[in-house]
Copies of this chain bind each other. A is one copy, B any other.
Amino acid sequence: MDALAKYRNLLGDMGRYGSALRLLSWDQETHMPPKGIEARSEATGMLSRKRFELLVSDELARCLAELREADGLSEVERASVRHVGKEHSRNRAIPPALVEEKSAAEAQAQAAWAAARKASDFAAFLPHLEKMVGYARQFAEYYGYDEHPYDALLEDFEPGMTCRKLRAIIEPLRAELVPFLKKLVDEGTAPDASFLRGTYRVDEQRRLSRRALEVILYDFEAGGLADVAHPFTILIAPGDVRVTNRYVESDVLSGIFGALHEGGHALYNQGIPAELYRLGVAGGASNGIHESQSRMIENQVGRSLEFWNFFQPVLAEHFPQFGRVAPQALFAAANLVAPSFIRVDADEVTYNFHVMLRFEIEAGLIDGSIEAADLPELWNDAMKRYLGIVPPSDAQGVLQDVHWSVGAFGYFPSYMLGNLYAAQLYATMRDQVPHLDAAIGRGDLKPLVGWLRENVHRYGAMYEPQELMERITGHELDSAHFVRYVKEKYGAIYGCQTPSDS
């Protein structure tokens, strides 16, 4: 068998293990009964090991070496060799004993974090946090980097991104957004959202979520919608991309935006060709690009006046009390801006601040300029600087996110990058697709989804994010698009536009 055939076989088996693992994981969050956890962990552990053994195998190393020199590979195959090759090398770089040690420590740290958050007791989490920071630093050294150890970790989530680049992106963004937020709060008029107060039956919200997913052209023949505590989207395999959602009885909008957000991720996954999946390049260009797809559907589409023009009657079919509410009122109420403590509840204007402060802290923890013990103080200081508020407890502050307890340092920037990519992609799409707003206003998302399929989805992980952005928009990420979008939209809603914003 030649190297390519052998390579494809290996990736095929890895894909099949991966697919089984993702189903086990989806089931664990959706249907597995509590008493099934012990056996489930064992099955998951074994299948992960089997997949990992193939990923770091000498056989794969030999195939990759041969294919790097081979002629006549297709563009997808070459992208696969680069992409899989990187995953292979990075995983081989870490001593297996260290991986296992970290994995065990992670389980403990996550449990400790959950308990510490509940009790708002940072001191109880501190030793675990210190341990996880230690592992992250060790991993960074094994991975290697040019400038900053944090760069080595970023690579897992945002290939090609570095501390230096992130700072260059954040600096002008912060300079624009901090005064803009102040202006909105001080001079603007917040929209009225009091009419949203009420109790909304969960089963009706679930049906409404299905409607929202149908609107955005999510393919239910290749997916499904399930209830969970913490929503996510998962690509089980080609033809099987599942969305999950949660519903809050007192908040009808959160279920809708949850569905749109996850639906955006799902459209990306459903738009990636099966051939890319078979070659291990189906995961999306990066976490940030993936997030751009969810945020675009949630915010640029779902929080637009056009969307509410056609969705208000749909909402009213399920909840008749909205039959006489103007689309404009729903649009405005869906776009309240207010500094708040919790990242996942933040609006479009304040969201990125939550990420900036986490990035500062993470980078400092990894390069040693910040001690974990000082985090509560640093956190609260940064909240004050960015948002002008200080959380009343660590549970609502430094302890709110799960990420550090599972050692995911370098993940947070993806959330901000997603917002920025989304704005830039959306600006380009608007230039290229005639009558885009009018189509959305009719509930016709074919032009929009078609453009995303053609320009973003079909490439999967073939290109790194900046290369992809350049191919699509003509230049690398530039936060000016986001700033323009936010100023225009919220300036209008809050009635405080300035000449320079137009």
Per the bound structure, the CA–CA distance linking A327 and B246 in Å amounts to 41
Contact with B along A406-433 (1 / 0, CB 8 A): 0000000000000000000000000000
Q: Which of A16-36 contact B (CB under 8 A)?
A: 16-17, 19-20, 23-24, 27, 31-36
Count residues of chain A with CB under 8 A from any CB of chain B: 37
**Contact (Cβ within 8 A) B19 A20:** no
When the two chains form the complex, which single residue of B12, B39, B240 contacts A240, counting CB atoms closer than 8 Å?
B39
Q: Once the chains bind, are A239 and B38 in contact (CB under 8 Å)? A: yes
* Neighbouring B residues of A43 by C-beta, 8 Å: 16, 19-20, 237
A222 pairs with B36, CB closer than 8 A: yes
Contact B20 A240 (CB under 8 A): no
Q: Is A3 an interface residue (CB 8 A)?
A: no
Give the residue of B23, B42, B50, B239 whose beta carbon is less than 8 angstroms from that of A27. B23
Q: Shortest CB–CB separation between residue A452 and chain B, in angstroms?
A: 20
Contact of A224 among B19, B23, B33, B219 (CB under 8 A): B33
Cβ contact within 8 Å between B224 and A31: yes
Contact call A239/B35, Cβ cutoff below 8 A: yes
The CA of A13 and the CA of B47, in the complex, are separated in Å by 10
Q: Which residues of A, 203-262, contact B by the 8 Å Cβ criterion?
A: 219-224, 226, 236-240, 242
Smallest CB separation, A436 vs chain B (Å) = 29
Please tell me if A201 contacts chain B, counting CB pairs below 8 Å: no
**Given A38-B239, A40-B240, A239-B36, A226:B20 Cβ within 8 A:** no
Residues B16 and A221 in contact, CB atoms below 8 Å apart: no
A35's nearest neighbour on chain B, judged by CB, is: B239
Smallest beta-carbon distance A350→chain B, Å:
37
Q: Which of the residues B17, B39, B46, B242 comes within 8 Å of A237, measured between beta carbons?
A: B39
> Is the CB of A37 closer than 8 A to any CB of chain B?
yes
A222 contacts which chain B residues (CB < 8 A)?
A: 33-36
Assembly CA distance A224 to B36 (angstroms): 11
Give the residue of B20, B37, B221, B226 whose beta carbon is less than 8 angstroms from that of A35. B221
> Who on chain B is nearest to A38 by CB?
B239
Contacts of A37 in B (CB 8 A): 239
Taking CB atoms, residues of chain B closer than 8 Å to A34 are 221-222
Of B39, B46, B224, B236, the residue contacting A13 (CB under 8 A) is B46
A239: chain B residues within 8 A (beta carbon): 33, 35-39
Which residues of A approach B to under 8 Å, CB–CB?
A: 12-13, 16-17, 19-20, 23-24, 27, 31-40, 42-43, 46-47, 50, 219-224, 226, 236-240, 242
**Could you jot down 17 A-B contacts, CB within 8 Å?**
A12-B42, A19-B39, A19-B40, A23-B27, A31-B224, A31-B226, A33-B221, A33-B222, A33-B224, A33-B240, A35-B239, A35-B240, A36-B222, A36-B236, A38-B239, A39-B240, A50-B50
